Chains A and B, each alone.
Chain A
Amino acid sequence: MSCTLGEVKNRADLIIYWGGNPAECHPRHFTKYTIMQKGKYVPNGRKGRTMVLVDIRETPSAKAADIFLQVRPGKDFEVLTLLRAIVKGQRIDPRAAAETGLTLEQLTDLADRMKRAKFGVLFFGMGLSMTRGKHMNSAAALTLAAELNAFTKFVAMPMRGHGNVTGADVVLRYTTGYPFGINLCRGYPRFNPGEFSSVDLLVRGDVDATLVLGADPGATMPQPAIDHLARTPTIVLDPKVTHTSRLARVHITTAATGITAPGTVYRMDEVPLPLRPPLKGPYPSDEEVLRRIIAAVRKKPAWEPDPAGVMAG
């Protein structure tokens, strides 16, 4: 249940941020796309919109919000699930609801606002998608938004982290059918997050070499994953020295995309934007380095996967 950000700008009269701190992490979000904009159908801009912030603590974003709802840590899934039930008119025990840190009245008020909105949007951040419950927390936000469409127009969108995560997701989907967590060992794509996602592969030590592109797992992943990166051959393509490049066997310095190399970045709503480098630099782009690696690999004896190795259905 999603839309491009211009839909939010032109139409949204209810904007909910959940588990994120856009004031500090996505500073342009308010001014460019959401609350501060005058939209085609929201001519009064900020006055025409209600902003709700849901988080476990009062971040600077709370100042921008009309309503701040403080959820007890680890209760996001519970709150979203309660909202699904309330939206459908199910009866809820107020004492059970109160365990989430919000009262049934607060929850019912939010549900009513969501149903009454002409166009509602729920942006959810890593405070939701990366905490206990992970993908199920995201699923809860998306499901709630989908179900609200029985009453009004409602969309939900993840606030992705830094870099071109969305772009990688998009390209992998059209080349392999899957967004991430993909294995090509049998010569065709297979998908199983948890089994094939890079963090799980590294933590379990399931790979014997790693190519790192546009990421710094050495700074963000759990220690066993970092240890495995250090233990096995790791190759990093990055414009700068990173935690990962320090433990890598090979670091190839590449041009910074958007600064000294052209490219395409996908916005969090999957709208592609062309990048025009303002500067020239001495380093090759990631693309050029990868092309050269592929060309060099082609000179080696070809790896031909077993056509009979397809795991049927």
Chain B
Amino acid sequence: MLTLTLLEPPTVPLEAEVLSPDVLAPLSHAEVRALPVYHGKRRLRLDEFFEVEGDGSDHVTLHGDLGRVRWVGRKMTRGHITIHGPVGMHLGAHMRGGHIEVHGSAADWVGGEMAGGTIHVRGDAGGQVGSAYRGSVSGMSGGTILVEGAAGIEVGMRMRRGLIAVRGPVRDFAGLQMKGGTLVLMSGAELRAGAWMTRGTIISLKPLRLLPTFGLACDYAPAFLRLYARHLAGLGFPLPADGSYHRFTGDAAVPGKGEVLQWQPHPA
């Protein structure tokens, strides 16, 4: 068990991609303390910012206001990171395995281009959750991101596989250019959900204001959804047992074969 407590919030962003079990686990206490972090343009030691307790471990706990600490869990493949407090951008970006739990909010790019593992944010998340970085062909290609609070714009942009579930409302362009995978919106989304999607599934429990390039295909209570609902219930995101779904397809502009399943409380 390794516990790191932020001494005080950094004055400018602190880039700390070393805060990953893959890096930390094999190290001694002294080695952990000496790891490099980047405060603005300066390379400094980890222990200039964190109080370090314990030796390197696959179980890492972070405490403090980490809102300016970026790249935590970058490229991690194993282990657990637990964060008590807010955390900065790029949490779990390029992650391939392991588990990140945030008791607080996370900034933009949670799980950017991640390929595997789980990220669970108890508070809100910023924009671009599970998204592609600018110019990339695909975003998230596997794994699970769960957000208990709200999320920002472009959630699941260009995602190819995996699951994103958001309990709170999300802003514009959810599932933008989505290519696969599943995006579950428990409280709906603002404008332009599913814009330019080619494949993949958006499930919304609230009515969405879809683009005019989506068409209502049918009313729908598919068998696979029951299986999926069981999986989601296990993650703490239960789908309603009753009702049915309007199935919209689009985006005709691409033209794409994505589907948007919008829950209807009463069977049609």
Contacts and interface: CB of A to CB of B under 8 A. Distances in A.
Q: Do chains A and B touch in the complex (CB under 8 A)?
A: yes
Interface of A: 74, 77-78, 81-82, 84-85, 88, 90-93, 96-97, 99-100, 132-133, 136, 184-187, 191-195, 206-208, 303, 305-306, 308-309, 311
B213 A82 contact: yes
B253 A90 contact: yes
Contacts of B74: 311
A266 to B, nearest CB: 22
Interface of B: 11-13, 15, 17, 36, 38, 40-41, 43, 68, 71, 74, 89, 108-109, 127-128, 133-134, 172-173, 176, 191-192, 195-196, 211-213, 215, 251-255
Contacts of B109: 195
Contacts of B255: 85, 88, 90
Contact of A195 (B108, B191, B254): B108
Contacts of B252: 85, 88, 90-92
Contacts of B251: 81, 85
Contacts of B213: 81-82, 84-85, 90, 92
A194 B108 contact: yes
Chain A contact residues: over half helix, strand or loop, or mixed? loop
Contact of A208 (B12, B127, B211): B12
Nearest to A96: B212
B36 A100 contact: no
B134 A84 contact: no
A207 B40 CA distance: 8
B215 A194 contact: no
A224 to B, nearest CB: 15
Nearest to A84: B253
Nearest to B13: A206
A306 B36 contact: yes
Contacts, number: 93
A192 B13 CA distance: 14
Given A191-B134, A208-B11, A303-B41, A78 B212 contact: yes
B134 A81 contact: no
Contacts of B253: 81-82, 84-85, 88, 90
Nearest to B190: A132
B41 A185 contact: yes
Contacts of B192: 77-78, 133, 136
A230 B252 CA distance: 48
B41 A133 contact: no
A85 B212 CA distance: 10
Contacts of A191: 134
Contacts of A311: 15, 17, 71, 74
Given A192-B133, A208-B11, A136 B195 contact: yes
B215 A93 contact: yes
A81 B108 contact: no
A223 B3 CA distance: 38
A206 B108 contact: no
A202 B266 CA distance: 48
B41 A305 contact: yes
Given A81-B196, A81-B253, A82-B253, A185 B40 contact: yes
20 contacts: A77-B192, A82-B213, A84-B253, A84-B254, A90-B253, A92-B213, A92-B252, A97-B212, A186-B15, A187-B41, A194-B127, A194-B128, A195-B108, A206-B12, A208-B40, A305-B41, A306-B36, A306-B38, A309-B36, A311-B74
A192 B112 CA distance: 12
A85 B176 CA distance: 16
